Each structure stands twice: as C-alpha cells, then as structure tokens.
Amino acid sequence: MILPGNTIGVLGGGQLGRMLAQAAKRLGYRMHVYEPAAKCPAGAVADKEVNAPYEDLAALTAFAKECAVVTYEFENVPAAPLQVIEKVTQLLPHWRVLETAQNRSREKRWLREHGIPHAHFAEVAAGGDLAAAIRGVGLPCVVKTADFGYDGKGQLKVMAEAEVAAAVAKFRSQPVVVEQFIPFACEVSAVVARSAGGEVRVFPVAENIHTNHILDFSIVPARVAPAVTAQAEDLARRIAAEIGLVGVMGVEFFVTKSGGVLVNELAPRTHNSGHYTLDACATSQFEQQVRAICGLPLGDTALLSPVVMVNILGDAWAKGEPRWDVLQSDPAVHLHLYGKSEARPGRKMGHFTVQAADAETALAKARELKAKL
C-alpha cells in the first residue's frame, strides 16, 4: 500500500493528468508529470514537471526513481521505453496492458482470443491487399490505422465499392484494421477499476453522443434497457480481470439494434466519458485511479444524481471568450477548464456537467447551455 505523502508519477501532461493530479494532491500525495511538451496542463498543478522525450531512457529512469508508482494518462506513450520503469518502480497498469490497447490490431486480436464480442475484422500489413480485406469483411466497413488513432483520426468509412480505391490509396503504406460497419442503436461506455487484489468496481454506464467523431454529450444513466447495462458492466469486469488491469480503464461499446453489446475500444486510463464522476459520483474516476494504483480500497461508484457531461471544444472561442456566465449562474452546473494555452477547433478545452432529477431533463438543459456558450 502506497500511502499519502508518497509521490505518484504520470506519463502525459494533458487534461486527464491534470485532473488525476488534482485528485492525488487532495488525498495528500505528491505528483510528478513527465511530458515532452513544456508548460502542459497537468504540470500546472503538479509538484514537478519533467519535459523530455519518452525515448530518453536516462530522463525516464531519473523520473521513475523519484516515484513510488508511475501511471499514464493516455495510451500513445511508446510501450518499449516503459520496460525501463518497471526495473526501477511500479508501473500500473502494466506496460503489456498499454501495448495491447494502443494498437488496434493487437486489441482486436486480444478481444477475439478471449471471446469478447466485437465487430468482425481483418488485419492488413503495410502494403498488403487492402481491397481484398475490404471485400472479405464486406461493405460497408471502416478502415482504421493500427496505431495512434483517437477521436476519429486515422479512419475512413467505406460504404460502397466505388470508394474502395480511395481507401487503398489513403492507407497504402500503413498497417490497418478493416472492421465491419455496425449500424448501432447507440454507443455506451463503462469505466472500470481493478485493484492488485482483484477488487473490481464499475462506474454507472454512460450513453455517448459523438459529433464529428468527438464525444459531445455523455448521459448518465444511459437511456438503454437494463439488460444492455448489465451486459456492458459484466464485459467491463471480465475484461479488467482477464487483461490483468491494475488501475482504471474505459471500455467503449456499440449497442446493436437487437440489444446486443459489442466492444469497440479499450483505453487503459481514465476516460473522457467518465468526467461526469467528478460531480455526480461518490468517488471520481481520478480518485479511483489513485486508489487502485496505490493499493487502497476502491471507492464507492454510486451515482448521486442523473447527469450529463458536455465537452467544450476550441470552437467555442470562435467569436471570442465563451459566455461562462451562462454556466456559472446555475447551481446545478459545474464547469471544468483544462488550462490549455491555445483554443483550436476540435481541441478539448474543458467540460461542464448538468445535474437534474432525470437524464432527459439534464440533457435538454445541457443542449440549451451549450448553444448559449
């Protein structure tokens, strides 16, 4: 058990690291951040910020020696250098969990090998016969780069035979995964935490609405049948146990029109769709990550109130500073800004939550407030 007063290290300096640092410091821990770019959002609230490439093994080793445990806040940290950390201190979740989840081919293969329901897929090596793979999976389908994809980046929907040639040209030099297109009823996600002792807690399932491939609204509780919620929770627990998770993981699902649940993606860290837990749960996902990696008992995941989370993107600054007063005048609304220096279209700059007596009321108010912002 790693008690307060010790130092937690986090790889990555974005908003997830920032909120993790805030949770850790509230519990009495010190927080060190390792991030290639200087003056990062997490560094602004941490005790120490180290700026160096992830491949700088000397800097990474020196960083690890100052930490009782090291974790990460996004999955695009190169896995190979992380093996250096485990020789110096604890790295949680284990680098093998990260290595599996950060590559779509390895992730899909892991789901298949463990009998986890997922969309039918095919893998294509760089320079391989992508056209044949597309026809093998069937149209419509989605072609995704194997590495470094998030928020819809690195993927292309192929709906008809006439679009195959463009997909082949776009991805010719990259390894890809070709996935069956799922005409889903909705998308949901579950944030699951697991301790080294095998204790597992799942936060309430969120229903997610995306705009231009970026999460727009998360609605909790999800407006789905109880059987769907139960399937998602059970799969999240099973994945956490079978992958050997120690920490927190976001699991994204497609809900089919027949009520089935298919796993879409895994993220071995806190998750955008779990931000509602900061205001509407007994324990936030960030405190839960601290608890899991430090060997503390996991916190209560009970939902205190129906809630909707809304992402605030850089687009909100298109006509100048957003109207924060429209949010701050309502006691049921909580604003969280990430301290990023530049607002760019599509960049996540913050979020707000709206609590209400029921999810539909919260969603209606959230849409109204977003329009005014």
Task: Decide if 105 is inside a domain.
Answer: no
> Tell me, what's the pLDDT at 150?
63
Is the pLDDT score of 257 beyond 70?
A: yes
DSSP state of 312: E
> Tell me, what's the pLDDT at 154?
83
Q: Which residues does 58 contact at the CB level (< 8 Å), separation at least 6? A: none
Is 223 exposed, middle or buried, given 0-12, 13-18 or 19+ CB atoms closer than 10 A?
middle
Specify whether 193 is located in the same domain as 322: yes
Final residue of a structural domain among 136, 165, 180: 180
Tell me the backbone φ, ψ of residue 78, rounded to 5 degrees: -55, 130
Whole-number Å distance between alpha carbons of 318 and 120: 40
Final residue of a structural domain among 180, 215, 250: 180
Within 10 angstroms of residue 325's Cβ, the number of other Cβ atoms is 10
Task: Decide if 291 is inside a domain.
Answer: yes
Domain count, the chain: 3
Q: What is the pLDDT of residues 287-329, one digit of tens each?
A: 999 999 999 999 999 999 999 999 999 999 999 999 999 999 9
List C-alpha distances in Å: 109 to 175, 183, 215: 14, 22, 25
Task: Decide if 114 is inside a domain.
Answer: no
Specify whether 254 is located in the same domain as 360: yes
Within 10 angstroms of residue 105's Cβ, the number of other Cβ atoms is 19
Specify whether 222 is located in the same domain as 359: yes
Q: What is the pLDDT of residues 221-240, one digit of tens each?
A: 999 999 999 999 999 999 99
> Tell me, what's the pLDDT at 76?
84
> Tell me, what's the pLDDT at 152?
58
Task: Decide if 314 is inside a domain.
Answer: yes
Task: Decide if 307 is inside a domain.
Answer: yes
Q: What is the CATH number of the domain that holds 193?
A: 3.30.470.20
> Tell me, what's the pLDDT at 74?
86
Whole-number Å distance between alpha carbons of 154 and 134: 16
Between residues 336 and 77, the one the model is more confident about: 336
Q: What is the CATH number of the domain that holds 150?
A: 3.30.1490.20
Residue 237: CA atoms inside 13 Å, Cβ hemisphere, count?
14
Specify whether 173 is located in the same domain as 312: no
Q: What is the pLDDT of residues 107-164, one digit of tens each?
A: 999 999 999 999 999 999 999 999 999 999 999 999 999 986 665 578 899 999 999 9
> Tell me, what's the pLDDT at 149?
60
Q: What is the pLDDT of residues 148-180, one digit of tens each?
A: 666 557 889 999 999 999 999 999 889 999 999
Is the pLDDT score of 4 beyond 80?
A: yes
Q: What is the pLDDT of residues 17-68, one digit of tens each?
A: 999 999 999 999 999 999 999 999 999 999 999 999 999 999 999 999 999 9
Domain that holds residue 175: 120-180
Whole-number Å distance between alpha carbons of 76 and 155: 16
Specify whether 192 is located in the same domain as 129: no
Q: Which residues does 87 contact at the CB level (< 8 Å), separation at least 6? A: none
Task: Decide if 100 is inside a domain.
Answer: no
Average pLDDT over residues 2-6: 98
Specify whether 276 is located in the same domain as 225: yes
Is 350 exposed, middle or buried, given 0-12, 13-18 or 19+ CB atoms closer than 10 A?
buried
Write down the mean pLDDT value for the chain. Answer: 96
3-state secondary structure of 99: helix
Task: Decide if 208 is inside a domain.
Answer: yes
> Tell me, what's the pLDDT at 80?
86
Structure tokens at 38: 């200087």
Question: Which residue is listed with tokens 């892991």?
Answer: 110
